[in-house]
Amino acid sequence: MKQLFYGGVHPAEHKELSEHKPIRPLNKAPAEVVIPMSMHIGAPCKPVVAKGDTVMVGQVIGETAGLGAPIHASVSGTVKAVEPRPGTGGTPTMSVVIENDFQNTLHPDCKPRENVDALTPQEIIDIIRDAGCTGMGGAGFPTHVKISSAVGKADTIIINGAECEPYITADHRLMLEHGEKIIGGVRFIMKALQLDHAYIGIENNKMDAVAHLRELLGDAKDVTVKDLRTRYPQGAEKQLIQAITGREVPPGKLPADVGCCVFNAATTAAIYDAVANGLPLFQRVITITGGAVNDPVNLIAPLGTPFSHLIEEAGGFKGTPARVIAGGPMMGFAQYDMSVTMGKASNCILVLSKDEMPKTDPNPTCIRCARCVNVCPMHLTPVFMNMYGKQRRWSEVEELRIMDCMECGCCQFICPARIPLVQQFRTAKFAIRQAAAKK
How confident is the model over 292-321, as pLDDT tens digits? 999 999 999 999 999 999 999 999 999 999
**Is the separation of the CB atoms in 34 and 262 below 8 Å?**
no
Percentage of the chain surpassing pLDDT 90?
90
Q: Is the pLDDT of residue 277 over 90?
A: yes
**Is the separation of the CB atoms in 421 and 372 below 8 Å?**
yes
- pTM (two decimals): 0.95
Q: Would strands 297-302 and 24-25 be described as parallel, antiparallel, or unpaired?
A: parallel
Instruction: Please tell me the distance from the alpha carbon of residue 170 to that of residue 27, in angstroms, as a whole number.
Output: 18
**Is the separation of the CB atoms in 229 and 222 below 8 Å?**
no
Instruction: Please tell me the distance from the alpha carbon of residue 286 to that of residue 348, in angstroms, as a whole number.
Output: 5
Look over the chain and give the mean of its residue pLDDT values, rounded to a whole number: 95
Question: Which pLDDT score, from 0 to 100, does residue 1 have?
Answer: 39
Cα–Cα nearest to 138, from 229, 262, 322: 262
Q: Maximum distance among all alpha carbons in the chain?
A: 64
Instruction: Please tell me the distance from the alpha carbon of residue 229 to that of residue 162, in angstroms, as a whole number.
Output: 10
CB count, 10 Å around CB of 94?
Answer: 17
Instruction: Please tell me the distance from the alpha carbon of residue 243 to that of residue 419, in angstroms, as a whole number.
Output: 29
Which band of pLDDT confidence, cut at 50, 70 and 90, is reported for residue 429? very high
Instruction: Please tell me the distance from the alpha carbon of residue 330 to that of residue 92, in angstroms, as a whole number.
Output: 24
Question: Which pLDDT score, from 0 to 100, does residue 137 have?
Answer: 86
CB count, 10 Å around CB of 252?
Answer: 9
Instruction: Please tell me the distance from the alpha carbon of residue 367 to that of residue 389, in angstroms, as a whole number.
Output: 17
Q: Is 207 left (phi over 0), alpha (psi -120 to 50) or beta?
A: alpha
- Of all residues in the chain, what percent are helix, strand and coil, respectively (each to 5)? 30, 20, 50
Percentage of the chain surpassing pLDDT 70?
99
CB count, 10 Å around CB of 215?
Answer: 10
How confident is the model over 328-361, as pLDDT tens digits? 999 999 999 999 999 999 999 999 999 999 888 8
Domain residue limits, the chain: 116-277, 371-438
Question: Which pLDDT score, from 0 to 100, does residue 359 have?
Answer: 83
Q: Dump strand ranges (E) for 205-364.
A: 223-228, 260-264, 283-289, 297-302, 323-326, 333-334, 348-352
Instruction: Please tell me the distance from the alpha carbon of residue 293 to that of residue 310, in angstroms, as a whole number.
Output: 11
| Average pLDDT of span 410-438 | 93
How confident is the model over 153-204, as pLDDT tens digits? 999 999 999 999 999 999 999 999 999 999 999 999 999 999 999 999 999 9
Q: Which of these CATH numbers, 3.40.50.11540, 3.30.70.120, 3.30.9.10, 3.40.630.30, describes 116-277? A: 3.40.50.11540
Question: Which pLDDT score, from 0 to 100, does residue 3 have?
Answer: 52
User: Alpha-carbon torsion 90, 93, 99, 102, what sign?
Assistant: negative
| Average pLDDT of span 270-279 | 98
Q: Is the pLDDT of residue 2 over 80?
A: no
